[in-house]
Amino acid sequence: MFEESLRRVVHETEGGLASVVMGFDGISLEEYTGEAAADLQIASMGMEYSVILRQIRTAMEMLDGGELNEVSVRAKKCVSVIRVLTKEYFLCVALKPDGNLGKARYLARMVAPGIRQELE
């Protein structure tokens, strides 16, 4: 369903590890894990992020900050780019800490319309 888009983001991003289309309810629709990240649990990562993203989205609404579009999370072993696709779904891309964050953000933004269309 979304495999080509998920694969593209991972393979075209220097340091790309994995990607997932995840519901805000914590259910993964589809995931792709590159060879360099065989042990990365991208679905579990997305599930945990779904809880946090719901809270951020609520905070932005309460503060009249507008709709949530994107969140980046930097950790010692992994960087995540999260792009909101619809009110129900988001895309999460994981990359190495020294990976190309700008390229991951760009590609997530580029594949988002196609994924949105497939979700309809």
> What is the set of domains in the chain, with CATH numbers?
3-119 (3.30.450.30)
User: What phi, psi does 57 have (nearest 5°)?
Assistant: -60, -45
User: Exposed (0-12), middle (13-18) or buried (19+): which is 22, by Cβ within 10 Å?
Assistant: buried
Angle at 103 between CA 105 and CA 45, to 5 degrees: 50
The string of pLDDT tens digits covering residues 18-58 is 999 999 999 999 999 988 776 788 888 899 999 999 999 99
Residue range 56-63: mean pLDDT, rounded: 91
Output the pLDDT for position 97. Answer: 94
**Residue 98 identity (one-letter amino acid):** D
Kindly indicate the confidence band of residue 16, based on its pLDDT and cuts at 50, 70 and 90. Answer: very high
**What pLDDT was estimated at residue 36?**
74
CA-based nearest residue to 52, from 38, 32, 72, 30: 72
Q: What is the pLDDT of residue 42?
A: 86
Give pLDDT, residue 120.
84
The pLDDT value given to residue 90: 96
CA atoms within 13 A on the CB side of 8: 15
Q: What is the pLDDT of residue 38?
A: 67
Q: What is the pLDDT of residues 63-109, one digit of tens each?
A: 998 889 999 999 998 999 999 999 999 999 999 999 999 999 999 99
pLDDT score of 39: 78
